[in-house]
A = this chain, B = another copy of it.
Amino acid sequence: MPLDPSRTVAELKELRELTGDVNGAQRVAWTETWETARDWLRDKVAETGASEEIDEAGNQWFTLRGESDRALLIGGHIDSVPNGGWLDGCLNVMAGVEVLRRIASDGTPPLTVRLVNWADEEGARFGRSLFGSSAAAGSMDDQDELRARTDANGVALPDALREHGVDLDRALDARKQLEGAVAYLELHIEQGPVLESLGLPLGVVLGTFGVERHQITWKGQAAHAGSTPMDKRRDALAGAAKLALEIRPIAAEVGDGAVCTSGSVVCKPGIVTSVVETAEQLLDQRHLDAEQLARMLSLAQEASARFAGEEDIEVSWERIWSIEPILFHDGLIELAEEAITEVCGTSHRLPSGPLHDAAEVARAGVPTVMVFVQSLRGLSHTKLEDTKEEHLELSVRALDRLAAKTLVRYAKEAA
């Protein structure tokens, strides 16, 4: 069966009809709608002859045996956020199905080819993203914490998983799935504006950003807005305001795609008649280079200390979360660039801001690369998420070529 990218687009629409509503996609992991999507996927793959297996973390694997047991993996996630878009996650899965069809129709491949539909990438129900891929990668180290998690209705995570055949205590047994994997490929919508602004359909992803996420607390003195002269104030908001602006020259100085975001400032007492006593500020900093990320954090911390001094206020930092940058595989980046250039003439290298299952697989030591396809207006996690159909088709072609090139490369190495 020759590759037919228009079929992928048609199948994505079919899935949207089956599992979405007027508000968007509703394939939240560990729900009936999600199971409906998984059943539908099983039917779609059946014709390729690939065998299905659900692993201990709920990941859905389809395996097409090759001449070697060593395996090329192609992965995505069919789960979505509530009221999600029609492409985030499932594009990768459905493009993978099409590639699997093409490979199967070409006869026994030199390597085993496996398509994986990761369980609960989004973490929409329990706030724990990358569930299935982190279990398979062996990096899931928060099982005690997960046991205590509940959804909005008070249902415990382990109980919800059990209804879908997953025993949290055994989830890490999914690690054996990555044994023998030689490469992992993932196609995803960009979820950002870069490719659209460059007028390019496709790009190759260098890795996922390292992230430093902090809450910064500024402490001044509440004082009456009418009776306190300007020079007698200790205004916590002034510190937060200065830092909200300073992170921009800091990102520019560090460069190489550095991004810094202050997503919230909460003022207390937060009333019109009082100078702000406490300002709680959120800061998110990302970079593809661990040293540059550390430098960016330290520049922001130095600036905050300077501002606290200028304003006679106090500042303290608390880390909310952090992750190291995860770099993709140089050889696969080159192959992806070739594949993209062949299907649309021009490629572009860019980092991924959001995390993806691919980052977990890469962390586990499997050579990994991702391909991004342009997102219209950079929107995702909303029903407004969209990508031009011609770009979707190009993305299926690029993934297919990348898979073909990877099979050739690793078959040689295996030989």
Contacts and interface: CB of A to CB of B under 8 A. Distances in A.
Interface of A: 190-194, 197, 209, 211, 213, 223-230, 232, 237-238, 240-242, 244-245, 248, 251-252, 257-267, 269-276, 282-284, 286, 320, 352-355, 378, 380
12 contacts: A193-B228, A197-B232, A209-B226, A213-B272, A230-B259, A232-B378, A238-B248, A263-B269, A263-B271, A265-B265, A272-B284, A273-B284
A267 B264 contact: yes
Contact of A225 (B263, B271, B378): B263
B272 A257 contact: no
Contact of A232 (B193, B230, B261): B193
A192 B228 contact: yes
A354 B276 contact: no
B225 A252 contact: no
Contacts of A194: 227, 229, 232
Given A228-B353, A241-B242, 6 more contacts: A193-B232, A223-B378, A224-B354, A227-B354, A230-B258, A241-B244
Contacts of A272: 213, 261, 263-264, 282-284, 320
B225 A284 contact: yes
Contacts of A190: 227
Given A244-B241, A245-B241, A265-B265, A225 B259 contact: yes
Contacts of A193: 223, 227-229, 232
Contacts of A276: 262-264
A227 B378 contact: yes
Nearest to A282: B272
Nearest to A193: B232
B320 A224 contact: no
A33 B182 CA distance: 80
A89 to B, nearest CB: 15
A271 B252 CA distance: 23
A338 to B, nearest CB: 24
A81 B282 CA distance: 34
A242 B258 CA distance: 22
Contact of A263 (B240, B274, B355): B274
A193 B248 CA distance: 36
Contacts of A282: 271-272
A121 to B, nearest CB: 15
A172 B226 CA distance: 29
A209 B229 CA distance: 12
A225 B321 CA distance: 14
Given A232-B197, A240-B241, A245-B242, A226 B286 contact: yes
Contacts of A378: 223-224, 227-228, 232
B353 A227 contact: yes
A230 to B, nearest CB: 5
Contact of A251 (B230, B259, B260): B230
Contacts of A355: 226
- Most B Cβ at <10 Å: residue of A192, A224, A238: A224
B270 A264 contact: yes
Given A230-B248, A232-B197, A273-B284, A353 B265 contact: no
A210 to B, nearest CB: 10
